[in-house]
Amino acid sequence: MTDTEKLRRLVDVAAGRLPADLVIKQCKVVDVYSGVITETDIAVCDGVIAGLGSYSGIEEFDAQGLYAAPGFIDSHIHIESSYVTPEEMGRLVVPYGTTTIIADPHEIVNVCGIPGLSYMLDAANGTALDIRFMIPSCVPATPFEHSGARIDADAMRKPIVDDRILGVGEFMDFPGVVSAQEGALEKLLLARTVGKLVDGHSPGLSGKDLNAYAATLIHTDHECSTVEEMQDRIARGMYVLLREGSACHELSKLLKGITPYNSKRCLLCSDDRQPKTIFEKGHLDEHLRMLVRGGISPIVALQMASLNAAECFHLYDRGAIAPGLKADIVLLEDLEEFKVRSVYISGRCVADKGIYQLPVHRHSIEAVRSSFHVKDFSKQKLELALHSDLVHTIDILPGSVVTAKGQVRVKRDPKGRFLYDPTLDVVKVAVVERHQSTGNVALGLLRGYGIKEGAIAISIAHDSHNIIVVGVDDDDMAYAVETLIEQNGGMVLVKEGSTLAAMPMPVGGIMSDQSGEWVDAKLTELHEVAYRQLHVNSDVEPIMTLCFMSLAVIPEIKLTDMGLFDVTTFSFIPLEV
């Protein structure tokens, strides 16, 4: 059928001259344009909404008064942080009303480069979920670590014109933007030249520095931690993404800053969403519940989950229930708990009563199967020689990826090497470079984690995903690293030279090729072992906390494979005070 024939058919169905493919009868349509609810029918033709009113169709579904809302749009998420592949991510979130996500494949591209992006694009074809991508802007995230790839403006030129790529991903290198560094400006100008958007990432930026950042027409920011930061960005023309994920929880604070005047500049995002969180709390439906409980009207909340995101990302074919738009429709039992009954994507029922209705077609992972290039690693590289008892520590703040720069006096052996003291909650942490065979092993001290026996090693370490290992004993730390390399990445918990629990992650060392249920069960086992046998502090998430200990763009102090890094000064500092 030609485009002309399709359009003629749509017009004929809308005018009532032809029956619709599908009519959803007797539903309460939430009009996110005008803020009203109307009881009517929805007619669908070739995956597009043909009209609202009294229609007949080849297939008819009696909604019996259910609310019909536009499909939910997650405006910023890293699929890799769910530890599952794109196909599995779709299976998990679609039953909760999500029909579109804006994904930033920053993690897999840091590991695998452009082939990682290609894999994500191909794998996205295996799910009903409409996955749109942003091309990562900062690979590596900073020049202060080694990653598996380096992506400059030239490397971005070919993939950025793909229709599935909406723009440039979160621009974490805000110092590079503010100081007008050439490499940063080239990427920004490339996006502008091809008419694509740029996502932002500017934690703590204010005043003239924020003006400089916004002046480049960076479009969004999901790193606001206060209402004041949110208002500052909206006032500068940016959209603010209200984040509620597995690791970061800002929505309840930021919703206090939503007003009738600025709500149109507010979107919803997860950033990260682990299977456990999805199974227990859902997806954007949880955000909607939180907004309504916080005093936001249900229709305004739904605007944030649909229309606002569609307009922000120039997805003008969706975001509302209106003639000519994509038939992405969520049938809800109520507008308080937002319990999802059925989900339609392009007019097809893809989830019903919490069950994904389609088969999952998995793309081959061979192009991104994890490989480790670790040079000359040995237990000796974990020895930490100190010139002073007074040292800097990376202090964990429970429930946050932000850390504090602490100081403490530690014990040393006669040769000046760090000695673990069970009376202090201070342990050794190391980052082992795994991409470029540099042989780098950087050492630091972590306070507040609580581990009292054994070691934990992971290859999920934002954003370059080198190996992070923490423990009380060099033998166990070395064994954990070696075991992790042998299993091609993931997570390993060890004690006294034996593996207590492990989760292999063969997709780049950062994602499993198994189901969300399998991943959830493995994570539950890992957590139980961490708490009960290694005695990690009960108020610390043992895996995700480690994942962020090398993220050198989140204050205050982190450890990369090149050393201890002070994020507030963007400089390396010695361990000794």
Tell me the C-alpha distance between 507 and 368, whole Å.
6
Tell me the C-alpha distance between 42 and 60, whole Å.
10
In order, the DSSP letters of 139-189 are: BSSSTTS--S--B-HHHHTTGGGSTTEEEEEEE--HHHHHTT-HHHHHHHH
Angle 77-80-86 from CA coordinates, rounded to 5°: 85
527 within some domain: yes
Spatial CA neighbour of 223 closest among 191, 247, 207, 258: 247
| End position of a domain, from candidates 285, 307, 329 | 307
Are 394 and 543 within one domain? yes
Average pLDDT, the chain: 96
Whether residue 401 has pLDDT greater than 90 = no
φ/ψ (deg, to 5) at 101: -130, 150
- Structural domain count of the chain: 2
Spatial CA neighbour of 52 closest among 346, 324, 328, 322: 322
For the record, the structure tokens of 388 come out as 């002073």
**The length of the chain, given as a count of residues:** 577
> Could you tell me which residue, 554 or 16, shows the higher pLDDT?
16
> Could you tell me which residue, 568 or 407, shows the higher pLDDT?
407
Give the three-class secondary structure for 93.
Answer: helix
Crossing angle for the helix pair 284-293 and 298-305, to the nearest 10 degrees: 150
* Residue given tokens 């906390």 in the structure block: 545
Residue 189: pLDDT band with limits 50, 70, 90:
very high
Residue 16's region, left for phi above 0, alpha for psi from -120 to 50, else beta, is left
Tell me, what's the pLDDT at 209? 97
Read off the pLDDT of residues 40-84 as tens digits, 9 standing for 90 and up. Answer: 999 999 999 999 999 999 999 999 999 999 999 999 999 999 999
Read off the pLDDT of residues 293-321 as tens digits, 9 standing for 90 and up. Answer: 999 999 999 999 999 999 999 999 999 99
pTM reported for the whole predicted model:
0.94
Read off the pLDDT of residues 455-504 as tens digits, 9 standing for 90 and up. Answer: 999 999 998 999 999 999 999 999 999 999 999 999 999 999 999 999 99
Q: Containing domain of residue 537, as a range? A: 369-572
Are 112 and 244 within one domain? yes
489 within some domain: yes
Tell me the C-alpha distance between 557 and 394, whole Å.
6
Angle 80-86-91 from CA coordinates, rounded to 5°: 120
Residue 394: pLDDT band with limits 50, 70, 90:
very high
352 within some domain: no
The set of residues, in sequence order, having a beta carbon less than 8 Å from that of 526 and lying 6+ positions away, is 491, 493, 501, 503, 542, 543
| End position of a domain, from candidates 279, 307, 335 | 307
Tell me the C-alpha distance between 200 and 198, whole Å.
7
Amino acid at 364: S
Tell me, what's the pLDDT at 85? 98
The neighbour count for residue 161, using CB atoms within 10 Å, is 11
Are 225 and 103 within one domain? yes
Q: Find the helix or strand (DSSP H, E) in which 92 lies.
A: helix 86-93
Tell me the C-alpha distance between 519 and 567, whole Å.
32
What DSSP state is assigned to residue 364? P
Are 299 and 377 within one domain? no
| End position of a domain, from candidates 291, 307, 323 | 307
292 within some domain: yes
Are 171 and 276 within one domain? yes
Crossing angle for the helix pair 86-93 and 114-123, to the nearest 10 degrees: 40
Are 165 and 257 within one domain? yes
Q: What percent of the chain has pLDDT over 70?
A: 100
CATH code, domain with 142: 3.20.20.140
Whether residue 348 has pLDDT greater than 90 = yes
340 within some domain: no
Amino acid at 280: E
Are 263 and 385 within one domain? no
Are 287 and 140 within one domain? yes
51 within some domain: no
Tell me, what's the pLDDT at 412? 96
Are 280 and 373 within one domain? no
Are 191 and 283 within one domain? yes
Are 446 and 563 within one domain? yes
Are 114 and 188 within one domain? yes
Residue 371: pLDDT band with limits 50, 70, 90:
confident
Whether residue 257 has pLDDT greater than 80 = yes
115 within some domain: yes
Tell me, what's the pLDDT at 554? 84
485 within some domain: yes
Give the three-class secondary structure for 72.
Answer: strand
Tell me the C-alpha distance between 537 and 449, whole Å.
6
Read off the pLDDT of residues 113-166 as tens digits, 9 standing for 90 and up. Answer: 999 999 999 999 999 999 999 999 989 988 899 999 999 999 999 999 999 999
Tell me, what's the pLDDT at 398? 81
